[in-house]
Structure 1
């Protein structure tokens, strides 16, 4: 079983001009299952709802697969109400404090004696957008993009990108056609990739339980959003296999 802890990234964040404070959630692989380490690393970027139980659960799952996993809380400096707008603006611009916080998380893993091999990034929803935007120029060795919105300048953003594995839901109306577009652009750029759309899945299908404000969950369900265990099982298998292959972990 993975061991977990909340960690304080504030000191290293201050050195880079990032969020104050900056918090994270660390999940270490089980030594019984994966040896004493060190292990490949993965940075998790959460959904629009923040570093909630879903994000922690995603980190736990990756640790169970053999990755030293750090989920970075992009809303550390005031919660979603104060940080969401600025975080969305940073994603739109392709620069800003949120990117600094993600880079801080990667550097923390890089300096950890428990990490060896490559470091990947995985994001969901809002985090999926950041995973795609940091696939080039941020020192990651693989990126997992899950229902993340492609930027308008997608061709430029994926130039010299690390290998990308991406998953989208066919019932996710705002992202209709995103998987095909991303696949085409990555192919044109010569980036190693695995992009798949799941016809029966909607937004948030990799979650293990409904999330977000309880009052809105019935609306999310009607809109086809939320867990889809069949699609999620296949997507997680692809993600873990892709990370093992590109982060030089033991498959």
Structure 2
């Protein structure tokens, strides 16, 4: 699947990105895939490719396109704060994807609306993820209060990045600090994600 660039970003003139296009004739529903601390790596590209194989037009922007340690720090500070230039980059990605002729335009609502009136939400958390302790229960309660259709699951045996497929020396380091792949949880999470997308973001009938 090819690399591409996305114009109109906030932190840089254009974002580097990976676009994964399903086989056959579109248009297809669109999905924006966000990477984690390791950036736009082979693992994130593989996640986008997996969604494309299931019939979704998936784009993964490189939120570290500006480069450097400062970029890494500012990106995650913005994510934790829920505001900042990185959200402009995500919105630029969403807008770019929705405008493609091979995208149906069925994407989540404007990021400014956050959760009030949000599209149906599917989420999975690792129960051993200390950085997100209590997040699943908090999200579950808030979505219920707002009347947003949702499926939030916490996996007791999983930690942070349990969907990751990283291998080699990095995988060993991740395991030592309690993060990384947890296959039973990942298998169930992918089953739930694709079933959810099939219900609320279904590809057009062939």
Match of 1:9 among 6, 14, 31: 6
Match of 1:182 among 124, 136, 139: 139
Helix, strand or coil: the match of 1:115? Answer: coil
Contiguous gaps of at least 5 residues in structure 1: 121-135, 140-155
- Cα distance, 1:222 vs structure 2: 2.9
Which residue does 1:28 correspond to in 2?
21
Match of 1:167 among 124, 143, 159: 124
Tell me how far apart the structure 2 counterparts of residues 87 and 174 of structure 1 sit (CA, whole Å). 16
Helix, strand or coil: the match of 2:159? Answer: coil
- Cα distance, 1:104 vs structure 2: 1.0
Q: Map residues 187-202 of structure 1 onto 2, 5 A cutoff.
A: 187-202=144-159
Tell me how far apart the structure 2 counterparts of residues 174 and 92 of structure 1 sit (CA, whole Å). 11
Which residue does 2:100 correspond to in 1?
112
Which residue does 1:85 correspond to in 2?
73
Which residue does 1:100 correspond to in 2?
88
C-alpha contact (below 8 Å) 2:128/2:158 kept by paired residues = yes
- Specify whether residues 91 and 176 from structure 1 end up closer, same or farther in structure 2 by C-alpha distance, changes over 3 A only: closer
Which residue does 1:153 correspond to in 2?
none
- Specify whether residues 222 and 48 from structure 1 end up closer, same or farther in structure 2 by C-alpha distance, changes over 3 A only: same
Contiguous gaps of at least 5 residues in structure 2: none
C-alpha contact (below 8 Å) 2:98/2:105 kept by paired residues = no
| Alpha-carbon RMSD | 2.2
- Cα distance, 1:182 vs structure 2: 1.3
Tell me how far apart the structure 2 counterparts of residues 217 and 233 of structure 1 sit (CA, whole Å). 18
Tell me how far apart the structure 1 counterparts of residues 60 and 119 of structure 2 sit (CA, whole Å). 20
Helix, strand or coil: the match of 1:236? Answer: helix
C-alpha contact (below 8 Å) 2:118/2:148 kept by paired residues = yes
Q: Alignment length, in residue pairs?
A: 205
Tell me how far apart the structure 1 counterparts of residues 41 and 80 of structure 2 sit (CA, whole Å). 23
Structure with the larger strand share: 1
C-alpha contact (below 8 Å) 1:201/1:228 kept by paired residues = yes
- Specify whether residues 225 and 89 from structure 1 end up closer, same or farther in structure 2 by C-alpha distance, changes over 3 A only: closer
Tell me how far apart the structure 2 counterparts of residues 41 and 193 of structure 1 sit (CA, whole Å). 19
TM-score normalised according to structure 2 size: 0.90
